[in-house]
Amino acid sequence: MTAAREPLLRDRLGIEVVSASPDRVTARMPVWGNRQPAGLLAGGASCMLAESTASLAASLHAAELGGTAVGLDLNATHHRAVRDGQVTAVATALRRGRRVATYEVVITDEAGERVCTARVTCLIASGAEGAPNGRP
């Protein structure tokens, strides 16, 4: 008997990666199923979309260096409400270093209006248990 693969949170939110490289990741997410009780896109869902896109880009960068990426910091500003349709996130590298990678993530609605701006910083880890230089 084989163990079932645990679904990733991004799968549960319906996040679909459109394109991916270490410098830029684009992904989409439906508003339906990701709303708060007031009927608006939940801020936490926007944050998860931002972190998912930036973390994927950072992971691709880290793989080029023989490591992995883990999140260090996420901050987000929510500019406008969205009630339906889908939103698109574009994560663009601000800095891709040997130890830290930082991305700006712009989330827009179907009309191209900015919904959220986020900055995500990831640690580029290698060695034992993903710790930098093998240190826990």
Just list the catalytic residues: 51
CA distance 58 to 55: 5
- Quote the tokens at residue 116: 């959220």
Facing residues of 88 across strands?
28, 108
3-state secondary structure the chain: CCCCCCCCHHHHCCCEEEEECCCEEEEEEECCCCECCCCCECHHHHHHHHHHHHHHHHHHHHHHCCCEEEEEEEEEEECCCCCCCEEEEEEEEEEECCCEEEEEEEEECCCCCEEEEEEEEEEEECCHHHCHHHCC
